[in-house]
């Protein structure tokens, strides 16, 4: 009897051990990394099929991964991606069994998740075909608790995601504060950095940019090594200090956006591409390079700098699927979105100088452009800001943007214009878009001519024309802000800039303007009112006649038409030196249809800002 009992007990115990081992073997719970806090990056890494960047069963194309995160009635679907060994930025690995989703929660509290993982031919871009197989960790569910963020200052995690909200300015989803852009447009090949894996200059000749290491034609940003700080990120035993230091410098100067191409194959730079090869298989991505990009972009969140991703160049907009929304183009955008859309400040730009360029004779058409924008909006789970960069020609710019007015998947233009028309073009597209039911955020992102742009401080230390006509021109027209392009005829230009201190005076003036709007104006609800001021060269913004601001580019006497029953106080602001508002003696302006005012006891040869506040 005892033997029977022992045999039965031993068999049951063995079955339990086997069952337990089996359960552990099939336990696909993810490794969760990151601070479990609102607006913070959280990564979910699963053990899945072994693969590599060159595997016959393409890990980028033939697997489809998605996690659904839900809290109360909120549900968000995040695409996933192959992550090699899970630490590729450090190891350089191109193979492994790690599969990853990156989530940035918009709310704190208890979140639940469910994961889907499919295998099948081209399943990543086909969607959920009938012949796809549910494999590995498919169906895994779980939950986790998110706490409020503890960040402060300019760190985007203190404010939340920057979003298009159907107005003429972007707004932080968390703090509700409105965003104005003051950014660097150059170098466009910002990501052509020597210490990123798999980054090689493929052009003709040597450009002598960094002048260090095996490929001196790539950026080193050596002048900014001094700006790297202890505790800042690096990879592979100290790589990355130059590019991280450069971003630290820009942030210290108040710059909050950086323009960068993610693909310039066949373009001007020929040194930025996410794939394993420059001109090979556009369905194979360089995982270690992209993970190193991610380190840089994460630091930009901390610094409060928007990632302006320009996804193609005018020379290569037909490179993928002849410009159509085909397999390689869908996969390209899906990979970018899966790996980077969680960042809190993102602009997706459909392409630099998009459309048929006269000097090339080819370019994308209206339908291709719309298909691309729609796909990005529908694939990006965070609904990040989407724009298109324009050609410099007035007629071509008008034709392209006219086609997109009212289009529900585009949030604004990325304008390229001559200096003298920035204010007028900003007003024009702001009003036209409003009239079509989808108000655009209108930014000035490049000024011509291409050989000049913004020149170094040692050539033009004051930047008077740029400051007056572009910086204040855009902001006083109710625009979303500016980025600065560096012309190719000058040192530290749009392809070879190594030192952003070459334009330090420009950064100062940009910060002064943006800070004035943020500190003193409800700019997000103010309306352009140039028609009420004289002389005509002056710009005006009004907020229901409670706050009036007049920009005076050339000094002299000015006037603004108001309700004669109102009484105002006047304060002056210096857009060159910044500083505190200066009160205009004890003068109060009242009982007149036209308020006449002029600059007193100040340098009248420069520009000034007059700020009127309604007295209660």
Phi then psi for residue 418, to 5 deg, are -75, 160
Q: Say what the pLDDT of residue 454 is.
A: 98
Closest Cα partner for 318 from 306, 307, 326? Answer: 326
Q: What is the pLDDT of residues 349-382, one digit of tens each?
A: 999 999 999 999 999 999 999 999 999 999 999 9
Sign of CA pseudo-dihedral 323, 327, 328, 332 = positive
**Look-up: residue for tokens 């003051």?**
182
Tokens representing 527 are 């309306």
Q: Are 509 and 470 in contact (CB under 8 A)?
A: no
State the Cα–Cα distance between residues 184 and 220, nearest whole angstrom.
Answer: 17
Q: Say what the pLDDT of residue 305 is.
A: 98
Task: For residue 11, tell me if it sits in a domain.
Answer: no
Q: Say what the pLDDT of residue 213 is.
A: 55
Pick from 524, 552, 584: which residue ends a domain? 524
Tokens representing 241 are 């200090």
State the Cα–Cα distance between residues 82 and 99, nearest whole angstrom.
Answer: 5
Residues of the chain whose pLDDT is less than 50?
1-26
Q: Say what the pLDDT of residue 413 is.
A: 98
Phi then psi for residue 483, to 5 deg, are -135, 150
Q: Domain tally for the chain?
A: 3
Q: Say what the pLDDT of residue 12 is.
A: 43
Q: What is the pLDDT of residues 447-478, one digit of tens each?
A: 999 999 999 999 999 999 999 999 999 999 99
Q: Which domain holds residue 79?
A: 31-146
Q: Same domain, yes or no, for 382 and 415?
A: yes
Sign of CA pseudo-dihedral 423, 424, 427, 433 = negative
Q: Say what the pLDDT of residue 287 is.
A: 98
Task: For residue 18, tell me if it sits in a domain.
Answer: no
State the Cα–Cα distance between residues 172 and 139, nearest whole angstrom.
Answer: 34
State the Cα–Cα distance between residues 155 and 301, nearest whole angstrom.
Answer: 6
Pick from 466, 489, 524: which residue ends a domain? 524
Q: Same domain, yes or no, for 354 and 316?
A: yes
Tokens representing 575 are 């857009």
Task: For residue 10, tell me if it sits in a domain.
Answer: no
Output the domain CATH number for residue 562.
Answer: 2.60.40
Q: How many CA atoms lie within 13 A of 7 on its CB side?
A: 4
Task: For residue 36, tell me if it sits in a domain.
Answer: yes
Q: Same domain, yes or no, for 290 and 168?
A: yes
Beta strands in 18-94 (DSSP E): 31-33, 42-52, 63-71, 74-79, 81-82
* Other beta carbons less than 10 A from residue 62's beta carbon: 19
Q: Say what the pLDDT of residue 16 is.
A: 38
Find out whether the peptide bond into 449 is cis, omega within 30 degrees of 0. yes
Q: How many CA atoms lie within 13 A of 210 on its CB side?
A: 22
Q: What is the pLDDT of residues 214-234, one digit of tens each?
A: 567 899 999 999 999 999 999
Output the domain CATH number for residue 491.
Answer: 3.20.20.80
Q: Could you tell me the end-to-end alpha-carbon distance of the chain, in angstroms, rounded to an integer?
A: 99
Q: Say what the pLDDT of residue 14 is.
A: 39
State the Cα–Cα distance between residues 538 and 40, nearest whole angstrom.
Answer: 44
Q: Say what the pLDDT of residue 214 is.
A: 55
Q: Same domain, yes or no, for 454 and 587?
A: no
Q: Same domain, yes or no, for 137 and 213?
A: no
Q: Same domain, yes or no, for 41 and 184?
A: no
Determine the 3-state secondary structure of 147 from DSSP: strand
Q: What is the pLDDT of residues 155-181, one digit of tens each?
A: 999 999 999 999 999 999 999 999 999
Task: For residue 25, tell me if it sits in a domain.
Answer: no
Q: Say what the pLDDT of residue 77 is.
A: 97
Task: For residue 19, tell me if it sits in a domain.
Answer: no
Q: Same domain, yes or no, for 313 and 377?
A: yes
**Look-up: residue for tokens 């699927």?**
321
Rg from Cα positions in the chain: 27
Q: How many CA atoms lie within 13 A of 298 on its CB side?
A: 17
Q: Same domain, yes or no, for 330 and 254?
A: yes
Q: Same domain, yes or no, for 387 and 504?
A: yes
- Predicted TM-score (pTM) of this structure: 0.94
Q: At what angle do helices 241-252 and 287-303 cross, to 10 degrees?
A: 20
Adjacency order of strands within the sheet including 170-172: 162-163, 170-172, 178-179
Closest Cα partner for 119 from 99, 105, 102, 103? Answer: 99
State the Cα–Cα distance between residues 132 and 144, nearest whole angstrom.
Answer: 29
Q: Same domain, yes or no, for 127 and 169?
A: no
Task: For residue 26, tell me if it sits in a domain.
Answer: no
Task: For residue 16, tell me if it sits in a domain.
Answer: no
Q: Angle 143-146-149 (CA atoms, 0-180°, nearest 5)?
A: 165
Output the domain CATH number for residue 140.
Answer: 2.60.40.10
Adjacency order of strands within the sheet including 533-534: 533-534, 557-561, 594-598
Q: Same domain, yes or no, for 138 and 182?
A: no
Pick from 113, 146, 179: which residue ends a domain? 146
Q: Same domain, yes or no, for 563 and 490?
A: no
Q: Say what the pLDDT of residue 234 is.
A: 98
């Amino acid at each position: 009897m005892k033997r029977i009992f022992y045999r039965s007990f031993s068999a049951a115990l063995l079955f339990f051990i086997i069952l337990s081992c089996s359960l552990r073997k099939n336990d696909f719970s993810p490794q969760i990394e990151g601070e479990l806090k609102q607006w913070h990056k959280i990564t979910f890494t699963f053990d899945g099929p072994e693969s590599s960047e060159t595997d016959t069963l393409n890990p980028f194309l033939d697997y489809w991964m998605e996690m659904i995160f839900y809290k109360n009635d909120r549900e968000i679907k995040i695409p996933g991606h192959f992550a090699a060994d899970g630490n590729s930025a450090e190891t350089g690995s191109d193979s492994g069994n790690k599969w990853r989703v990156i989530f940035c929660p918009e709310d704190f509290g208890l979140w639940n998740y469910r994961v889907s993982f499919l295998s099948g031919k081209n399943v990543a871009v086909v969607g959920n075909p009938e012949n796809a197989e549910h494999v590995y960790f498919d169906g895994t569910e779980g939950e986790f608790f998110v706490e409020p963020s503890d960040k402060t200052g300019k760190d985007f995690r203190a404010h939340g995601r920057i979003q298009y909200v159907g107005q003429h300015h972007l707004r932080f989803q968390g703090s509700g504060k409105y965003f104005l852009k003051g950014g660097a447009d150059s170098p466009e090949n910002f990501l052509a950095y020597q210490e990123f894996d798999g980054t090689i200059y493929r052009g003709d000749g040597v450009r002598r940019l960094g002048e260090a290491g095996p490929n001196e034609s790539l950026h080193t940003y050596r002048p900014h090594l001094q700006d790297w700080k202890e505790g800042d990120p690096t990879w592979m035993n100290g790589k990355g200090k130059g590019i991280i230091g450069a971003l630290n410098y820009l942030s210290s100067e108040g710059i909050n956006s950086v323009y960068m191409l993610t693909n310039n194959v066949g373009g001007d730079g020929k040194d930025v591409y996410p794939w394993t090869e420059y001109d090979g298989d556009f369905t194979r991505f360089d995982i270690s390079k992209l993970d190193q990009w991610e380190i840089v972009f994460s630091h930009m969140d901390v610094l409060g700098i928007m990632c302006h991703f320009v996804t193609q160049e005018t020379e290569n907009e037909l490179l993928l699927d002849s410009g159509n929304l085909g397999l390689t183009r869908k996969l390209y955008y899906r990979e970018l979105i899966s790996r980077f859309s969680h960042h809190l400040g993102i602009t997706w730009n459909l392409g630099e100088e998009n459309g048929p360029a006269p000097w090339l004779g080819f370019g994308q058409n209206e339908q291709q452009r719309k298909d691309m924008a729609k796909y990005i909006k529908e694939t990006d789970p965070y609904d990040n800001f989407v724009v298109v960069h324009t050609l410099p020609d007035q007629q071509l710019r008008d034709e392209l943007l006219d086609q997109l007015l009212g289009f529900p998947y585009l949030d604004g233009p990325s304008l390229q214009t001559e200096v003298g028309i920035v204010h007028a073009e900003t007003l024009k597209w702001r009003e036209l878009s409003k009239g079509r039911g989808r108000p655009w955020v209108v930014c000035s992102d490049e000024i011509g001519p291409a050989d000049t742009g913004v020149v170094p401080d040692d050539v033009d230390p004051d930047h008077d024309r740029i400051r007056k006509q572009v910086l204040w021109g855009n902001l006083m027209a109710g625009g979303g802000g500016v980025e600065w392009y560096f012309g190719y005829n000058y040192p530290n230009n749009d392809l070879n800039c190594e030192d952003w201190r070459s334009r330090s005076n420009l950064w100062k003036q940009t910060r002064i303007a943006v800070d004035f709007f943020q500190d003193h104006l409800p700019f997000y609800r103010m309306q352009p009112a140039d028609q009420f001021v004289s002389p005509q060269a002056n710009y005006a913004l009004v907020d229901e006649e409670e706050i009036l601001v007049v920009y005076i580019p050339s000094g002299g006497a000015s006037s603004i038409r108001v309700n004669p029953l109102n009484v105002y106080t006047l304060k002056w602001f210096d857009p060159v030196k910044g500083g505190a508002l200066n009160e205009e003696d004890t003068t109060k302006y009242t009982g007149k249809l036209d308020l006449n005012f002029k600059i007193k006891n100040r340098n009248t040869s420069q520009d000034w800002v007059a700020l009127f506040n309604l007295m209660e």
